[in-house]
Amino acid sequence: MSETPHGFDTLQIHAGARPDPATGARQTPIYQNTAYVFRDAEHAAALFNLQEVGYIYSRLTNPTVSALQERVATLEGGVGAVATSSGHAAQIMALFPLMRPGDNIVASTRLYGGTVTQFSHTIKRFGWSATFVDCDDLAAVEAAADANTKAIFAESIANPGGYVHDIPALAEVAGRLGVPLIIDNTSATPWLCRPFDQGATLVVHSTTKYLSGNGTSVGGIIVDSGRFDWTAAGKFPSLSEPEAAYHGLKFHETFGPMAYTFHGIAVGLRDLGMTMAPMNAFQTLLGIETLSLRMERHVANAVKVAEWLERDPRVTRVTYAGLPSSPYNDRAQRLYPKGAGALFTFAVKGGYDACVRLVDAVEIFSHVANLGDTRSLIIHSASTTHRQLTPEQQKAAGADPDAVRLSIGIEDADDLIRDLDQALAKATG
């Protein structure tokens, strides 16, 4: 493509995609392939020594996956990306170049339940730890950091409550601490929010959700802004100091703005093997082609459904930041002008038991542990995705026992309202 700037709708179709040089195929092929033939021994050595970019083995690089990486990096305004086998894999891979035993991160209390569990328990096996803080309290975020803090982690639009984080404010705190700000942009997507434009350093996605949008393909991705100085203060030796596995190569010195991305592939994927399958990359590329169209409908439907729920006497509260009554509405309008996403919770009179009856009574909504599908989805977070958390953690995350989470799809909004109406009637008697 030319150097002329292109709009989002054009880039979501064309970025990373070129006609196949062998066949002329216009759609990116599924390179269901493991290994790639070298031109000669010198070519092979250059690839393994990171002196030349190319394909070696699909655990590291694959043409279909590479197309997806380029497309998402372009849409986010980053310099490079590393696709992974899942969103959870992307989170571990995002931290991997930054952390050593004894290091920690400061994380928002408003995170997906599986992320809270991963950061509370699983990362301890690497010798890492997380301190959870209400990221609206910027002083508390800064106070929670110490000399071993290597990142701040938050979601742009938090799952499950749909709360919106003040990314520019968090970026200022991260800047003072000299650490990267990592934003999980799964719920917003780059169509609603580009965290790099607001000061974030790294972005992660569960591509399983809105980017794919079709409920067929699990995956994750990490995108690098290319703007962070990994040599500052000696905090990130994996990127600034000699790498023994590559004969003393220094990633930041050698690759500059692409240091983090190259490390993610050459070390992260090489050794952790959290690789995205070519078929999943293909399905996700197809999904991204309609991302802006879908997100516009997702948001419009969410506004209509949330407004209806807020007026219903069987509902005690709605957490959607797109409602004027939300304490996050001003922030959402300022930072997310295209909309506050399509993910939120609402509380049902009758509490926990009424929520369980509600999810059993819906007909159009699907009761599944997912979000970001074209189909509207519903789940009772306290008894499922956030079940492993303590009551205090559930409340902090917005997964209260009396609330259900909705992921609003692209169906007819009036049909969704009628479905919730009949389900609420059965749930509340």
Cis peptide before 337 (omega within 30 of 0): no
* Mean pLDDT, the chain, integer: 95
Instruction: Classify residue 382: in a domain, yes or no.
Output: yes
Query: Which residue, of 260, 287, 314, is where some domain finishes?
Result: 287
On the 0-12 / 13-18 / 19+ scale of CB atoms within 10 A, 361 is middle
Q: Is the pLDDT of residue 1 over 60?
A: no
Instruction: Classify residue 304: in a domain, yes or no.
Output: yes
pLDDT for 106 equals: 98
Residues 209, 370: contact at Cβ < 8 Å?
Answer: yes
The band of 383, judged by pLDDT with boundaries at 50, 70 and 90, is confident
Strand-pairing partners, residue 130, are 105
Instruction: Classify residue 2: in a domain, yes or no.
Output: no
User: Of 121, 114, 177, which Cα lies nearest the Cα of 149?
Assistant: 177
In CATH, what number is assigned to the domain containing residue 321? 3.90.1150.10
pLDDT for 235 equals: 95
Q: What is the mean pLDDT of residues 140-164?
A: 95
Q: Could you tell me if 256 and 306 lie in one domain? A: no
Q: Could you tell me if 177 and 312 lie in one domain? A: no
Residue 422's domain spans which residues? 291-428
Q: Could you tell me if 258 and 314 lie in one domain? A: no
Q: Please tell me the least confidently modeled range out of 348-352, 388-392, 424-428.
A: 388-392
Strand-pairing partners, residue 83, are 221
Instruction: Classify residue 384: in a domain, yes or no.
Output: yes
Q: Could you tell me if 141 and 269 lie in one domain? A: yes
pLDDT tens per residue, range 84-118: 999 999 999 999 999 999 999 999 999 988 899 99
Q: Is the pLDDT of residue 418 over 60?
A: yes
The count of structural domains within the chain is 2
Instruction: Classify residue 385: in a domain, yes or no.
Output: yes
In CATH, what number is assigned to the domain containing residue 21? 3.40.640.10
C-alpha to C-alpha distance for 166 and 171, rounded to whole angstroms: 9
Give the chain's radius of gyration (CA, Å): 22
Instruction: Classify residue 408: in a domain, yes or no.
Output: yes
Instruction: Classify residue 99: in a domain, yes or no.
Output: yes
Strand-pairing partners, residue 105, are 130
Q: Could you tell me if 30 and 139 lie in one domain? A: yes
User: Of 168, 99, 92, 98, which Cα lies nearest the Cα of 135?
Assistant: 168
Backbone angles phi, psi at 220, to 5 degrees: -145, 170
Instruction: Classify residue 374: in a domain, yes or no.
Output: yes
Query: Which residue, of 225, 253, 287, is where some domain finishes?
Result: 287
Q: Could you tell me if 313 and 372 lie in one domain? A: yes
Percentage, residues of the chain above pLDDT 90: 88
pLDDT for 3 equals: 60
Query: Which residue, of 287, 311, 336, is where some domain finishes?
Result: 287
Angle at 374 between CA 158 and CA 198, to 5 degrees: 35
Q: Could you tell me if 119 and 236 lie in one domain? A: yes
The band of 4, judged by pLDDT with boundaries at 50, 70 and 90, is low
Q: Could you tell me if 212 and 242 lie in one domain? A: yes
pLDDT tens per residue, range 123-149: 999 999 999 999 999 999 999 999 999
Residues 294, 283: contact at Cβ < 8 Å?
Answer: no
Q: What does the H/E/C string look like for the chain?
A: CCCCCCCHHHHHHHCCCCCCCCCCCCCCCCCCCCECCCCCHHHHHHHHCCCCCCCCECCCCCHHHHHHHHHHHHHHCCCEEEEECCHHHHHHHHHCCCCCCCCEEEEECCCCHHHHHHHHCHHHHHCCEEEEECCCCHHHHHHHCCCCEEEEEEECECCCCCCECCHHHHHHHHHHHCCCEEEECCCCHHHHCCHHHHCCCEEEEECCCCCCCCCCCCCEEEEECCCCCCCHHHCCHHHHCCEHHHCCECHHHHHHHHHHHHHHHHHHHHHHCCECCHHHHHHHHHHHCCHHHHHHHHHHHHHHHHHHHHHCCCEEEECCCCCCCCCCHHHHHHHCCCCCCCEEEEEECCHHHHHHHHHHHCCCCEECCCCCCCCCEEECHHHCCCCCCCHHHHHHHCCCCCEEEEECCCCCHHHHHHHHHHHHHHHHC
Q: What is the mean pLDDT of residues 302-326?
A: 97
Q: Could you tell me if 117 and 131 lie in one domain? A: yes
Q: How far is CA 13 from the centre of its chain?
A: 20
Q: What is the mean pLDDT of residues 405-409?
A: 97
Q: Could you tell me if 201 and 59 lie in one domain? A: yes
C-alpha to C-alpha distance for 229 and 163, rounded to whole angstroms: 30
Q: Could you tell me if 160 and 194 lie in one domain? A: yes
Is the pTM for the entire model greater than 0.85?
A: yes
AA identity, residue 125: R
pLDDT for 273 equals: 96
Q: Is the pLDDT of residue 2 over 60?
A: no
The band of 225, judged by pLDDT with boundaries at 50, 70 and 90, is very high
pLDDT tens per residue, range 231-267: 988 899 999 999 999 999 999 999 999 999 999 999 9
pLDDT for 401 equals: 86
Q: Could you tell me if 279 and 306 lie in one domain? A: no
pLDDT tens per residue, range 35-76: 999 999 999 999 999 999 999 999 999 999 999 999 999 999
